[in-house]
Amino acid sequence: MDQIQHKFVDIKDLKLHVAEIGTGDKVVVFLHGFPEIWYSWRFQMIAVAKSGYRAIALDFRGYGLSEIPPEPEKTTFKDLDDDLAEILNVLEIPKAFFVGKDFGASVAYTFSILHPERVQGVVTLGIPFIPSALVGQLFSSLPQGFYVMRWRIPGRAEADFGRFDVKTVIKKIYIMFTSSDLQVAEDNQEVMDLVDSSTPLPSWFTEEDLSTYATLYEKSGFRTPLTVPYRALPVDLGENVPNVSVPSMLIMGRGDYVLKFPGLEQYLTSGMMTQFVPNLEVTFVDEGTHFVQEQFPDKVNELLTSFLSKHA
């Protein structure tokens, strides 16, 4: 971890944090999800750097060490794609591989559609490419107590989180998202109540890891993270469903709760997804959860470096 260097890049009057290790023209950019930050890619960054790549992991605006935008609630997914393009420009990176987890996967896919000339390949974890029309179908079938529905409501998550210190909130979310079941609260229950505060952390997630996350969320707060991904406007890609044309790989833990979304597993296993991502590999990691890259880093590193070597 000590060999990972840190810098700040000035983008549109915001200082965005970038972690970096490795050198050379072959570049891999890592995009985190929620409740993650750059740190969630620590194992993968070191692995790809040892394989000869320059590894870069950023904190999205309002996350981790990156500055909070003046009006966090107005942040959109387009802002994140624009930030990404500017970071590449400042760092003088013409083209790279992009590895995205959770909503970071959405940013990676969208960036590959908006800027295909800058994308060598896309690897995503936990979230497949889902056209906006299908997203609506998926979420319309989910119960109103599902955490995403609750956190979309301004003030609801803020009040729920506010009952606990930041470290407890992050702990509860990590434990909750490690479950293979959908996180659905009853009408008289809040989402944070789905996990008892005394529940132990997963064996692969240490107290030191938790403290690292908590310290950075104490700095950033949750205003931007609750906006993106839960309340932000998606990128307008037009009426026609665009294709992700670059080489792509999806890594899913077989125990990832996302597979419980109505119709999603069939979407992945039936080949329907290849209509939109024709050059796609799908790999399932046995016993993996939504945090498969932290839970089984060696396996994910092996899959990732193999994909990179095939398409570099």
290 flagged as catalytic: yes
Residues 6+ apart with CB under 8 A from 221: 68
Report which of 121, 81, 127 is spatially closest to residue 98, judged by C-alpha positions: 121
The catalytic position among 17, 230, 256, 257 is: 230
The catalytic position among 102, 160, 209, 256 is: 102
CA distance 271 to 292: 23
Q: Are strands 119-125 and 54-58 parallel, antiparallel or unpaired?
A: unpaired
CA distance 39 to 21: 13
Tokens of 24: 């050379």
Q: Are strands 14-21 and 54-58 parallel, antiparallel or unpaired?
A: antiparallel
CA distance 162 to 169: 9
Neighbouring CB atoms inside 10 A of 196's CB total 8
Supply the angle between the helices 207-220 and 166-178 in degrees, to the nearest 10.
120
Residues 6+ apart with CB under 8 A from 291: 40, 174, 177, 178, 202, 205, 253
Please give the full DSSP string across 123-168, using - where no structure is assigned: EEES-----HHHHHHHHHTS-TTBHHHHHTSTTHHHHHHTTS-HHH
CA distance 63 to 31: 12
53 flagged as catalytic: no
32 flagged as catalytic: no
Question: Which residues belong to the active site?
Answer: 102, 230, 290
